[in-house]
Amino acid sequence: MTSATGTPAYRRLSVEARRAQLLDAALSLFAHRAPEEVSLDDVAEAAGVSRPLVYRYFPGGKQQLYEAALRTAADDLEQCFAEPPEGPLTARLSRALDRYLAFVDQHDTGFAALLQGGSVVETSRTTAIVDGVRRAAAEHILDHLAVDEPGPRLRMTVRMWITAVEAASLIWLDEDKQPPLDELRDGLVEQFMAVLTAAAGRDAQTADVVRAALALETPDGPAGGLARRVLPVVSDAAHLL
Amino acid sequence: MTSATGTPAYRRLSVEARRAQLLDAALSLFAHRAPEEVSLDDVAEAAGVSRPLVYRYFPGGKQQLYEAALRTAADDLEQCFAEPPEGPLTARLSRALDRYLAFVDQHDTGFAALLQGGSVVETSRTTAIVDGVRRAAAEHILDHLAVDEPGPRLRMTVRMWITAVEAASLIWLDEDKQPPLDELRDGLVEQFMAVLTAAAGRDAQTADVVRAALALETPDGPAGGLARRVLPVVSDAAHLL
């Protein structure tokens, strides 16, 4: 950054604003490169500041900067599943997944490096941050299911689905972002309805949740489409009833 | 170990047998303690040998021993999903899951430490070994589905379910091994049938797989039970059709 008079000009920023600027630069770099491939010089250059300035804010160096950037990303990610408790469940889930998948799309390399493990910057602290995101997502979804005290089967079903969504995200990145995002999203919503319905067969609380959810669904929504597409596939299985 | 004359007597073992004995001792220790809490002295003591002997076989110390023990465990785990291609799909999956869940039960602490990440012994190599197990399990299951060239949707569905099974195993360990193993297994088999059926709504190959699988299922098997339990839950949703 060069001012009109040709001298390097660091904008004067408050401590908080400077910190946010450095984190923003770091996050952009960590989003598209493996942590091993990002240096503090890169961060300084991307933020248009000197390396000593980066160290002044993050004396722990790259590890501290990485964890702080991850914390910022985790805060964003946790908000993906926050959604007003209105309308059909599948519509809410679709909107939440749109936000989540947009995040995955925007932070592709960093997201994969973080979740695939074995990275040099992975510590029990980074693992705890990622687990915090998973827990927050599960709580948001349980809120959408509107049960006061979710039992172990409902909780396990939700947590299993969240892990499956993560796996799908990694596979999607690995397969050059195929299928298109809206198709991936619809498939994930349908998987959720499917596992919830299967669990309902064994758990009265989950059965109540499914009945209440289906009552709000419409024929032209995801649950209606799923029901109509699946019926012909299972219609030959009357011998099981 | 002490011989009849009172002198310490290491049994004479071949190189391979000694290595196997040390790995066996290490695996028992790593199964029930976090890697951080296992020392080479512990391994030497458990195997009834001296610490220098352990180092002679594993000059890389604990990290090398851990990776070798993990490799051995991974070989066992990969075999869990190998199953003769006979009988209903749900019966084969149930037997495979029985073996897998018995492994989880027997290696509880080590299994959790390995998969939860952030461990001091986690490296890109240990991550690669774990990924290898996931891939092998997916290939076994795709074999059971008897498709020559599984397409991306079928592959993704299987891989998502495997990740969900892992998540369920960790939750099960975290919740003091509740519910009982056979209930957990049945729930996981039902989740597989549910996600496969949902995916069949969007993919002709998966639809063929589901039709072929359901044709072999019996009313008293898992698929029959699932169908009968789920029908009453969804019977009020005729407005979606």
Asked whether residue A68 carries a pLDDT value surpassing 70, the answer given is: yes
Closest CA to A83 of A145, A44, A140: A140
pLDDT category at B7 given cuts 50, 70, 90 is very low
Distance from CA of A2 to the nearest CA of B (A): 42
Select the residue of B125, B153, B194 nearest A194 (Cβ to Cβ).
B194
Give me the mean pLDDT over the A141-167 stretch: 95
What average pLDDT does this structure show over A17-28? 94
Q: Which residue has the higher pLDDT, B116 or B48?
A: B48
- Above 50 in pLDDT, residue A3? no
Facing residue for B240 by CB, picked from A116, A152, A217: A217
Q: How confident is the model at residue B118 (pLDDT cuts 50, 70, 90)?
A: low
Domains of chain A as residue ranges with CATH? 11-69 (1.10.10.60), 80-234 (1.10.357.10)
Among A230, A235, A236, A241, pick the best mutation site for testing chain B contact (most B Cβ within 10 A).
A230
Angle, vertex CA A177, rays to CA A92 and CA B136, nearest 5? 100
ipTM reported for the complex, 2 dp: 0.90
Query: What average pLDDT score do residues A72-99 get?
Result: 93
Q: How many CB pairs under 8 A join A and B?
A: 188
pLDDT at B148 over 80: yes
- pLDDT beyond 50 at A1: no
Contacts of B175 in chain A (CB under 8 A): 152
Is a pLDDT exceeding 60 seen at residue B70?
yes
pLDDT at B2: 44
| Mean pLDDT confidence for B184-196 | 98
Contact B44, B21 (CB under 8 A): no
Predicted local confidence at residue A11, as pLDDT = 67
- Chain A hits for B168, Cβ within 8 Å: 156, 160
pLDDT over 50 (residue B73): yes
**Residue B182 near residue B235 (C-beta atoms within 8 A):** no
| From B199, B233, B239, residue closest to A210, measured CB to CB | B233
pLDDT tens for each residue of B9-47 = 566 789 999 999 999 999 999 999 988 899 999 999 999
Mean pLDDT on B100-127: 86
Q: What is the pLDDT of residue A160?
A: 97
Q: Summarize the confidence of residues A209-232 as an average pLDDT.
A: 96
> From the CA of B232, how many Å to the nearest CA of chain A?
9
Disruptive mutation site among A123, A233, A241 for chain B (greatest number of B CBs within 10 Å): A233
% chain B with pLDDT above 90: 79
More confident residue, A9 or A142: A142
* Chain B CB within 8 Å of residue A203 CB: no
Confidence at residue B135, expressed as pLDDT on a 0 to 100 scale: 94
Q: How confident is the model at residue A2 (pLDDT cuts 50, 70, 90)?
A: very low
Contacts of A118 in chain B (CB under 8 A): 122-128
**Mean pLDDT rounded to a whole number for chain B:** 92
Return d(Cα A147, Cα B16) in angstroms, integer.
Answer: 57
Give me the residues of B, 98-127, that contact A with CB < 8 A.
Answer: 116-119, 122-127
Residues of chain B positioned with their CB less than 8 A from the CB of A195: 164, 191, 194-195
pLDDT at B3: 44
- Residues of chain B with pLDDT > 70: what percent? 95
Residue A121 has pLDDT above 90, yes or no: no
Residue A177 contacts B where some CB pair is shorter than 8 Å: no
Interface test with A, best of B123, B195, B210, B231 (most A CBs within 10 A): B195
Q: How far is B2 from chain A (nearest CA, A)?
A: 43
CB within 8 Å: A241 and B218: no
Chain B 26-85, residues with CB within 8 Å of chain A CB atoms: none
pLDDT reading at B5 higher than 50? no
Q: Which residue of B has its CA nearest to A175?
A: B152
Mean confidence (pLDDT) of chain A? 91
Kindly state the percentage of chain A with pLDDT values over 90.
79
Cβ distance A164 to B160 less than 8 Å, yes or no, reads: yes
Per DSSP, the residues of chain A read -B-TTSSB-PPP--HHHHHHHHHHHHHHHHHHS-GGG--HHHHHHHHTS-HHHHHHH-TTHHHHHHHHHHHHHHHHHHHTT---S-S-HHHHHHHHHHHHHHHHHHTHHHHHHHHH---TT--HHHHHHHHHHHHHHHHHHHHHTT-SS--HHHHHHHHHHHHHHHHHHHHHHHTTT-S-HHHHHHHHHHHHHHHHHHHHTT-HHHHHHHHHHHHH--TTSHHHHHHHHHHHHHGGGGGG-
Question: What residues in B contact A124, CB-CB < 8 Å?
Answer: 118-119
Q: Which residues of B touch A119 (CB under 8 A)?
A: 124
CB contact B193 to A (< 8 Å): yes
**pLDDT of amino acid B1:** 45
